[in-house]
Structure 1
Amino acid sequence: MPLPEDKQLLKLSDELVETIRATFDTPKNYRPVHAKGQLVKGYFTPHKDASKLSKAPIFTQPSTPLIMRYSTDTGFKNLPDNGENGSRGFAIRFVLSEDGHTHYDIITNNAYGFVVSTGEGFLDQFKAMRDDKMDDFLDKYPHARYFMENQSPAHSYSFATEQWHSIHAYKFVNDEEKERYFRWRIVPWQGVMKHSKADAAKLSHNKPIKYRLMAQLAEEGDEVNDSTKVWPETNEFAEMGEIVIDRLWEMDEGEPAGREQKRIIYDPIPRYMEGVEVSEDPLLEVRAAVYLISGRIRREHIQEEVQQAVK
């Protein structure tokens, strides 16, 4: 996962990381956004027709192991899991090699679309939050006001019954080199359910969590390079397979307690996945750079913690 060669993009991404950390006063050994999270493990089984859309190996082999992360939004590491402010995240890593270094990641959240369409707009948002000037930001970015008023999610008290959406569009390529733009949609098998706190407390904690992995296919005229543009729900949805979560990441799986929870860096760009390609959404490279920059900072501080612990 390399840093971008574009110096302006790298400068913007560096400034974003520092501004987000300042906004939430996030320690450097935590993510600047989605700071609180939990790794879980499971597997993916493809739908029988998925390979018609994409030649990606995850759609032709019987199953693929997964490492996933549920998270709460913002850089506040103590944000309650059932808090009603902010969005939630769900990142999925398809492990493509035994050492885990080759992988394909899907990054989603439970909100529709996104608040801004560029890295510069994203930086303006966090500067406004830091400086308590959100009214000025919303005046400058009218869509941001619409997003916050109309596209913020209604919370479920269980992550298992949330619906998840990829922010960006990607492109399938099949064996015949036919292309089709799409956005990921992850839907719980039992349907989206907005539990009360009391009902959520009664849910089983031992059963596997299952989702349908679906692709919302772009139609003619749909904007594929702008994350703020939500596509119509009348678009075709293709069944791509099933995601099963069957256990938590155990702290004794070859890592010091909590280390991998902080070390893992999910990548919004499919670098190792034939059959899935990026769109020209300008936010993709920015997000990837921000994740890598913050991940490197996080890993450096984790290593310092380990060295201090063994002294």
Structure 2
Amino acid sequence: MPLPTDEKRLALAREVIQAFDDLHGVFPGYRPAHAKGILAVGSFTSTAEAARLSVAPHFHAETPVFIRFSNFAGVPMAADNKPDEASPRGCAVRFQLGEHKHTDIVAHSTDSFPTRTAEEFIEFLHAVKASGPDAPHPTPIEQFLQSHPKALAFVMTPKPIPTSFGRESYFSVSAYRFIDASGAGRYGRYRILPEAGNEYLSTEEAAAKGANFLMEGLAAQLASGAVKMQLWVQLAEPGDVVDDATTQWPVERQQVLLGVISLTKLVPADDVDGRRIIFDPIPRVAGIEPSADPLLEPRADVYVMSGRRRREQAGI
């Protein structure tokens, strides 16, 4: 996936990466956010409903997949049991459609995003960085949240620690247009839900866990059997906002089961191909189109730019 040639887009991507670097520090060979993660492989089996919704190839055949679960922070030693380092957790899915051909989903464990644009997100990260324990009140982040109610709602949304990566729900905050065989399209947002159901720890239970319990737990689970995640899409109705990641749709909107992801084994941490993966929030596949969400292009640019830096630093 190439970087854009537009200098404004490149400059914006650099600003986002720099904001993360300033907040978390630079750890060569790691992502600036969601640095600590674990990669698994398996397969996706689609439903008849998925085939009716879209002509996308992975909705019409069983497809190999990779899934990377991760903690939020850009710190590779971030503790799995500390909300400020682990939450929201990430889940990125790659559908392997052929040699050098794929489409991805990038999701996290909170069903919203704090800002509508990348520029606002940079402001958000700067405000967090400037709001250390010695900062006078109102701190920069308190001021930002006061003037950005959607960001305040995101921050205040409960983010409990799950018992397992495979017992958490994940949401793609941007909408996509799913195109059927007649050429008609409907907007929807992905939801990746645990087949075994959600299960969370109390604050006391989480504090008693080890710093790597989610990573170690997934390895143990896969050693004894498949971990299954259901892929759903929540469909928009006419009049719903489809270009704003801070706006949620009503809970009663129709949801369609697209298929089941069965994870069977881990990818070794030193696997070069696994480490080289750069996930892409833009589908780039027939049958699924990006919405006009202003976060999508900057996110894609940031992933490519930071991914190339990571590869170069790691010598891969």
The TM-score, its normalising length taken from structure 2, stands at 0.88
Q: What is the aligned length?
A: 294
2:273 is the counterpart of 1:267:
no
- Match of residue 169 from structure 1: 175
Post-superposition Cα deviations, 1:42-72, rounded to whole Å, max 9, x if no partner, equal 00000122111100111112x1001110000
- Match of residue 292 from structure 2: 280
Counterparts of 1:70-81 in structure 2, within 5 Å, are 70-81=69-80
- Match of residue 136 from structure 2: none
Deviates more, 1:14-23 or 1:162-171: 14-23
Deviates more, 1:40-49 or 1:76-85: 76-85
Alpha-carbon contact 2:160-2:201 (below 8 Å) kept: no
- Match of residue 254 from structure 1: none
Counterparts of 1:39-78 in structure 2, within 5 Å, are 39-61=39-61, 63-78=62-77
- Match of residue 118 from structure 2: 119
Q: Distance in 1 between matches of 2:103 and 2:50?
A: 16
Cα RMSD (Å) of the superposition? 2.0
Post-superposition Cα deviations, 1:151-200, rounded to whole Å, max 9, x if no partner, equal 34322121110011101000000110010000001111122122464899
SS at the partner of 1:58? helix
Q: Distance in 2 between matches of 1:262 and 1:52?
A: 35
- Aligned-pair CA distance for 1:130: 2.1
- Match of residue 134 from structure 2: none
- Match of residue 92 from structure 1: 93
Alpha-carbon contact 2:95-2:102 (below 8 Å) kept: yes
Alpha-carbon contact 1:112-1:153 (below 8 Å) kept: no
2:227 is the counterpart of 1:220:
no
Q: Distance in 1 between matches of 2:143 and 2:35?
A: 27
- Match of residue 110 from structure 1: 109
- Aligned-pair CA distance for 1:136: 2.5
SS at the partner of 2:295? helix
Alpha-carbon contact 1:37-1:72 (below 8 Å) kept: yes
- Match of residue 309 from structure 1: none
Match of 2:142 among 135, 138, 152: 135
- Match of residue 312 from structure 2: 300
SS at the partner of 2:103? strand
The residue type equivalent to 1:104 in the other structure is: T
Q: Which runs of 5+ in 2 are unaligned?
A: 132-139
- Match of residue 137 from structure 2: none
The residue type equivalent to 2:244 in the other structure is: D
Counterparts of 1:24-39 in structure 2, within 5 Å, are 24-39=24-39
Post-superposition Cα deviations, 1:268-307, rounded to whole Å, max 9, x if no partner, equal 0011x1101000000000100111110111111111xx7x
Post-superposition Cα deviations, 1:24-50, rounded to whole Å, max 9, x if no partner, equal 013131100000001100000001221
Q: Which runs of 5+ in 1 are unaligned?
A: 252-256, 307-311
Alpha-carbon contact 1:105-1:268 (below 8 Å) kept: yes
The residue type equivalent to 2:64 in the other structure is: P
- Match of residue 163 from structure 2: 157
- Aligned-pair CA distance for 1:82: 2.8
SS at the partner of 2:48? coil
Counterparts of 1:197-212 in structure 2, within 5 Å, are 197=205, 205=221, 206-212=224-230
The residue type equivalent to 2:129 in the other structure is: R
Q: Distance in 1 between matches of 2:80 and 2:264?
A: 20
Alpha-carbon contact 1:31-1:262 (below 8 Å) kept: no
Post-superposition Cα deviations, 1:80-105, rounded to whole Å, max 9, x if no partner, equal 223233210010000011x3x21000
Q: Distance in 1 between matches of 2:241 and 2:305?
A: 29
The residue type equivalent to 2:281 in the other structure is: P
SS at the partner of 1:96? strand
Q: Distance in 2 between matches of 1:176 and 1:91?
A: 30
Alpha-carbon contact 1:82-1:157 (below 8 Å) kept: no
Alpha-carbon contact 2:83-2:159 (below 8 Å) kept: no
Q: Distance in 2 between matches of 1:249 and 1:78?
A: 19
The residue type equivalent to 1:249 in the other structure is: V
- Match of residue 9 from structure 1: 9
Q: Distance in 1 between matches of 2:236 and 2:6?
A: 29
Post-superposition Cα deviations, 1:93-122, rounded to whole Å, max 9, x if no partner, equal 00011x3x2100001111011000001001
Match of 1:250 among 253, 268, 271: 268
SS at the partner of 2:262? strand
User: Aligned residues: percent identity?
Assistant: 38
The TM-score, its normalising length taken from structure 1, stands at 0.89
